[in-house]
Amino acid sequence: MTATRITVGGDSPYDVVVGGGVLGELPTLLRPGVRTVAVICPRTLPQVSEPVCAALSAAGYQVAELPVPDGEQAKTVEVAAELWSALGRHGVTRSDAVVGVGGGATTDLAGFVAATWLRGVQVVLVPTTLLAMVDAAVGGKNGIDTPEGKNLVGTFLPPAGVLCELSTLAGLPKADYVAGLAEIIKGGFIADPEILALVEADPEAATRPDGPHTRELIERKVRVKADVVGADLREAGLREILNYGHTLAHAIEREEHYGIRHGEAVAIGMVYAAELSRLSGRADLVERTRAILTAVGLPVSYRADAWPRLREHMRLDKKNRGAKQRFVVLDGLARPGRLEGPAEELLEAAYKEISA
């Protein structure tokens, strides 16, 4: 399968390589001068970490494999500190590199550790889930969680490259794969309506890694994100549109103690954002949002009694400026806008529309 290279622009441009059987491309993404490569990967993914380490060793690099817990459990300052110590023991210098292999939590962690070790070493990311391929691994935002919220401690460090080996998707549980579709569908609403048309044409096929449009959906969503982050790495303006649906989603994740899949929370958050758009006199895309998410098996509602706690969680959202709450909404299909300082009555009314 021929590899597709999608370039993310900006001050430090890099390529996202998409395809099957492309692990051999990994050494080409590392910049010259690297001797030691630290591979950060969940202990549960030896089937991916072993060929990654083998490809790097075959290319002549000294490889240090650093296993970490799976999922959000890895995104803590304690795990980061253990990795910093390991980098020191393995003699990783500023001219060396980190490779992060795994889902979005692992790529977030690997990027954060690389950005903070010696004030920044290069990192290449090998996402193994749909969510990580189309969102977490692309864009240069890295972070860890605190008890107060998700990704509240973080950095901006564009990777040296991202390698999306599509064969890793075949082993994903269906629920995890479907959760990743939420970020793809989000890309359709904020920027590329053709994504929505492809999913709506055959929702069942969209839920399969071997679906006829899987690769196109992935590449289209990567291009959406590449266009945005290439123009606004540090979320000074345009990049905020990628947070469509995320204000409530992050609150739900915290309410669930991160026991809910990120994509499932984003799906609910998108319905909430669509309701905010409608109730504030902007675009009315609620029914289409509900229909497409329901068709692929994603949730569209949340518990009615959770609103007071969710509202408190939302006050720590990264988009807020002082006491002013900010939401990404839609002025039309593929026309994202911002809703600043909405009335409490509006926020509550929108939640009532999605509460179960």
Known binding residue 93? Answer is no
| Residue 74, marked binder | yes
- Is position 345 annotated in a ligand binding site? no
Asked whether residue 70 is marked as a ligand-binding residue, the answer is yes
Single out the catalytic residue among 65, 141, 142, 221: 141
Catalytic (active site) residue 194: no
Instruction: Report the candidate in 269, 188, 179, 266 with the shortest Cα–Cα distance to residue 223.
Output: 188
Select which of 78, 89, 119, 257 is catalytic.
119
Which is catalytic among the residues 186, 223, 250, 313?
250
219 assigned binding-site residue: no
Q: Is 312 a catalytic residue?
A: no
- Give the full edge-to-edge strand order of the sheet including 62-68: 4-8, 14-19, 161-165, 122-127, 97-102, 36-42, 62-68
* CA angle in degrees (0–180, nearest 5) for 182-179-265: 70
122 is in an annotated binding site: no
Catalytic residue among 186, 220, 223, 239: 239
Q: Is residue 235 among the annotated active site residues?
A: yes
Residue 246 catalytic?
Answer: yes
SS3 244: coil
Which is catalytic among the residues 186, 261, 262, 313? 262
The residues near 96 (Cβ < 8 Å, ≥ 6 apart) are: 34, 35, 36, 37, 38, 121
Buried b (16+ CB within 10 A) or exposed e, 148-179: ebbbebbbebbbbbbbbbbebbeebeeebbbb
Candidate list 186, 220, 221, 246, residue with the active-site label: 246
> Is 75 one of the annotated binding-site residues?
yes
Residue 104 labelled as part of a binding site: yes
3-state helix, strand, coil in the chain (%, to 5): 50, 20, 30
Catalytic residue from among 165, 219, 223, 243: 243
Q: Which of 25, 235, 256, 353 is catalytic?
A: 235
225 is catalytic: yes
Active site residue 257: no
What are the b/e assignments for 301-313, b being 16+ CB within 10 Å?
A: ebeeebbeebbeb
- Flag whether 128 is marked binding: yes
Identified catalytic residue from 186, 225, 254, 261: 225
State yes or no: 155 annotated in a binding site.
Answer: no
| Set 65, 165, 183, 264: catalytic member | 183
On whether 318 is known to bind a ligand per the annotation, the reply is no
**Strand, coil or helix: 16:** strand
Q: Is 107 annotated as a binding residue?
A: yes
Is 183 catalytic? The answer is yes
Whether 262 has a binding-site annotation, put simply, is yes
CA distances for 145 relative to 75, 126, 151, 250, angstroms: 6, 21, 5, 11
141 is in an annotated binding site: yes
Residue stretches of the annotated binding site: 70-75, 104-108, 128-129, 141, 150, 183, 246, 262
* Catalytic machinery residues: 119, 141, 183, 225, 235, 239, 243, 246, 250, 262
Residue stretches of the annotated binding site for NAD(+): 70-75, 104-108, 128-129, 141, 150
Residue stretches of the annotated binding site for Zn(2+): 183, 246, 262
